Structures are given as C-alpha cells and as structure tokens.
C-alpha cells in the first residue's frame, strides 16, 4: 500500500528515449543459412543422377531451379543485413565483414554455375561466419 | 539560573553581561541557520525543478551509462548559465518528432553552437549521424541524477 503510494508519486512523468530507430530485432541471418543449406541439398540431389523418365527429368530441373533461387535468396538476405543492420562500429570490430560479404556473393554465384558439393559446403561455411558475426553483435545467438 | 541576589557570589557574571551573551549567541544561531538555508536553497531548488522533469529511460542507445528503466532527474536550468559542452548529457526533443524526448551525449559543438549528439552505445543508436546536429537552444535539460533503481541511485554524467 505505502509502496504503491510512493511508487505513484515517484513514477517519472516523462520518457527520454535512448533510442535506435532501426528495429534491430527484425534482422535475422536464419534465412541466409536456410538458403545456403537448401543449395547444398539441391546439389546433393542433382548429383544423385535421377534418371531419364519425364518425371525424373522434371524433378531434376526443379532442383536446379530451386538451387538458382536459393543462391539468390542467400545473396539477398546477406545484403539486407549487411546494408541495413551493420553500423560502422560493427565493421570496426569485424574488419573482415565487407570481404566476407563479397566472398558470399561470389560463392553463391559459383553455386549457381556448378553442381560442386565442395562449393556448396563453402557457401554454408561463409554464411555461418556471417551469422556468427551478426549474433556476436547482438550479444549471442538465441537458443534454438 | 542561580537565583542568588545580585552580587551574592563574587566573580559570578553580571546578569546584563549574561543577557548580552545570550543575545549574541541567538544572533549567531540565526546567522548560522540563514547560512545553511542560503547554502541549501540552490540544490533544493535544483532538485525540485528536476523533479518536475523526472524521466524514465527507454532504449539501449545510452548503455552502459543509462539502462532502460532508469529513472532520472533532469535539470531544466543546467544550461541556463552555460551552454552544453562536449561530454555533457542532454535531453532534447527528437528533431524528427519533437513531442518525444531523446537522451544523448554531446560529442561535438560546432562554431554555430549546434550540438553533435551520439549514443554511448553507438552501434544501437539513432543520433546526429542520422538527424544531423541540433540547436543548443532546444535542449530541455540535463539528466544529472538517477533515483531508481535503488542500487544505482546517484549522479549520472
């Protein structure tokens, strides 16, 4: 009772915003990681040599199309976080960031051009590095 | 106090002298009280004025100096005697939305007296890098003390 009365009197009348316009919470590199995993999985399926009947050929072509799309999704997701979320202070702390993003762009292109499992694994590894930096700036990766 | 007639006890003080001494002591006491009042008036006035602008911190951009949920006293008169300087905390209206107040730190004052503001946590701050410098005349006051939470009560700077 008394506590409430005191709290009612002491409660601030104003708010001062120590704010950040960018709603940092909306950014998440998960999409890029899923994209890279999808690319790797498509490469795996394509290399299984599905066979020649129309259904299998259809399946094959779909895998190629999905690989194309998801390589682009990786590039898009990484580019948004890189361009919109990261601030100069982050780059100062992680000077490899720009080069890493550039290598992801290149590697995603390579994954579109080839069905190289090694290239797909490399893309996943680069995206993971990118995601790790992101989560370090946020104070840790949330527990899945 | 003795109740003895005047002169009954040789060497005892003359009651007139005693009254005079008491009178002087009274004056000294009065002067002392007045001095204390005069000495305390500005800080009390400052606290009262700041109390009217008591404010809650929202957001992370001033960490670790100010945490979200801190309750602050904001002195509206702090910058009347001198303009804000580099490293001062200021409460200012958001240039993009003046009805809402921001708390930031002055990191530069340009030749025209405009303030370059920055969050103490620049990685999570929208400040002069986005909205440019702000006019020192718009400053609402100086956050100078935290009165909540109890564990972190004290001056802020």
pLDDT more than 70, % of chain B = 92
Residues 44 through 103 of chain B touching chain A, CB cutoff 8 Å: 52-63, 66, 68, 71-72, 74, 91, 94, 100-103
User: What pLDDT digit, counting tens, does each position of A14-67 carry?
Assistant: 999 987 776 555 788 999 999 999 999 999 999 997 788 999 999 999 999 999
Q: Which of B53, B57, B71 sits opposite A18 (nearest CB)?
A: B57
User: What pLDDT digit, counting tens, does each position of B48-75 carry?
Assistant: 999 999 999 998 899 999 999 999 999 9
Predicted local distance difference test score (pLDDT) of residue A7: 80
Residues 6+ apart with CB under 8 A from A144: none
User: What pLDDT digit, counting tens, does each position of B73-117 carry?
Assistant: 999 999 998 999 999 999 999 988 888 899 999 999 999 989 999
Residue B13's Cβ-count burial label (10 Å; 0-12, 13-18, 19+) is: exposed
Q: Give the three-state DSSP class for A15.
A: strand
Predicted local distance difference test score (pLDDT) of residue A87: 85
CB contact, 8 Å: A17 with chain B?
yes
Model ipTM value? 0.76
Closest chain B CA to residue A24: B124
Nearest CA-CA distance, residue B12 and chain A, Å? 57
Chain A and chain B share a number of CB contacts under 8 A equal to: 82
Q: Which residue has the higher pLDDT, B3 or A79?
A: A79
Residue contact B60–A20, C-beta within 8 A: yes
Task: Please choose, from the candidates A14, A13, A23, A24, the residue with its C-alpha nearest in 3D space to the C-alpha of residue B93.
Answer: A14
Nearest CA-CA distance, residue A7 and chain B, Å? 10
Question: Looking at A117-126, B119-128, B144-153, which range is the least confident one?
Answer: B119-128
Band of residue A102 on the pLDDT scale cut at 50, 70, 90: very high
- Whether residue B25 is predicted with pLDDT greater than 80 in this model: the reply is yes
**Mean of the pLDDT values across residues B41-50?**
91
Q: Which residue has the higher pLDDT, B2 or A143?
A: A143
Band of residue B14 on the pLDDT scale cut at 50, 70, 90: confident
CATH number for the domain formed by residue range(s) B54-155: 2.10.109.10
Residue contact B122–A87, C-beta within 8 A: yes
CATH architecture of A30-137: Up-down Bundle (1.20)
Nearest CA-CA distance, residue B39 and chain A, Å? 26
Per the prediction, chain B carries an average pLDDT of 89
List the structure tokens of B117.
């503001």
- Whether residue B8 is predicted with pLDDT greater than 60 in this model: the reply is no
Query: Which CA distances in Å does A86 have to A75, A123, B13?
Result: 16, 21, 86
**Mean of the pLDDT values across residues A59-77?**
96
Predicted local distance difference test score (pLDDT) of residue A24: 56
Band of residue B5 on the pLDDT scale cut at 50, 70, 90: low
Q: Show residues of chain A in contact with B91, CB under 8 Å.
A: 16
Q: Are B134 and B128 in contact (CB under 8 A)?
A: yes
CB contact, 8 Å: A21 with chain B?
yes
Predicted local distance difference test score (pLDDT) of residue B152: 93
Residue contact B59–A14, C-beta within 8 A: no
**DSSP for residue A85:** I
Q: How far apart are CA B20 and CA B157, in angstroms?
A: 51
Residue contact B71–A137, C-beta within 8 A: no
Predicted local distance difference test score (pLDDT) of residue B118: 94
Q: Are A27 and A5 in contact (CB under 8 A)?
A: no
Residues 6+ apart with CB under 8 A from B115: B84, B90, B92, B106, B108, B109, B128, B133, B134, B135, B136, B139
Band of residue B3 on the pLDDT scale cut at 50, 70, 90: low
Q: Show residues of chain A in contact with B53, CB under 8 Å.
A: 13-14
Predicted local distance difference test score (pLDDT) of residue B35: 92
Residues 6+ apart with CB under 8 A from A27: A80, A81, A84, A85, A134
Closest chain A CA to residue B141: A16
Helix (H) or strand (E) holding A17: strand A14-17
- For chain A, give every domain's residue range: 30-137
């Amino acid at each position: 009772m008394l506590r409430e009365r005191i709290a009612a009197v002491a409660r601030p009348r104003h708010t001062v915003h120590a704010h950040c316009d960018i709603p940092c919470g909306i950014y998440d590199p998960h999409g890029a990681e899923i994209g890279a995993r999808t690319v790797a999985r498509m490469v795996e399926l394509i290399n299984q040599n599905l066979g020649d009947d129309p259904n299998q050929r259809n399946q094959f072509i779909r895998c190629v199309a999905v690989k194309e799309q998801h390589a682009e999704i990786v590039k898009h997701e990484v580019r948004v976080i890189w361009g919109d979320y990261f601030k100069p202070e982050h780059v100062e702390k992680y000077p490899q960031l720009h080069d890493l993003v550039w290598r992801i762009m290149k590697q995603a292109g390579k994954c579109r051009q080839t069905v190289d499992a090694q290239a797909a694994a490399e893309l996943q590894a680069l995206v993971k590095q990118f995601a790790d930096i992101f989560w370090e700036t946020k104070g840790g990766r949330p527990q899945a | 106090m003795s109740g003895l007639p005047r002169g009954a006890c040789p060497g005892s003080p003359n009651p007139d002298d005693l009254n005079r001494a008491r009178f002087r002591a009274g004056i000294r006491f009065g002067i002392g009280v007045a001095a204390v009042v005069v000495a305390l008036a500005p800080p009390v006035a400052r606290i009262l004025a700041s109390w009217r602008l008591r404010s809650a911190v929202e957001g992370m951009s001033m960490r670790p100096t100010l945490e979200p949920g801190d309750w602050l006293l904001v002195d509206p008169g702090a910058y009347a005697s001198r303009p804000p300087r580099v490293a001062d905390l200021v409460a200012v209206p958001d240039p993009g939305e003046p009805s809402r107040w921001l708390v930031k730190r002055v990191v530069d004052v340009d030749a025209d007296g405009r303030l370059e503001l920055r969050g103490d946590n620049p990685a999570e701050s929208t400040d002069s890098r986005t909205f440019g410098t702000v006019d020192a005349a718009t400053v609402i006051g100086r956050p100078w003390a935290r009165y909540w939470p109890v564990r972190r009560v004290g001056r802020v700077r």
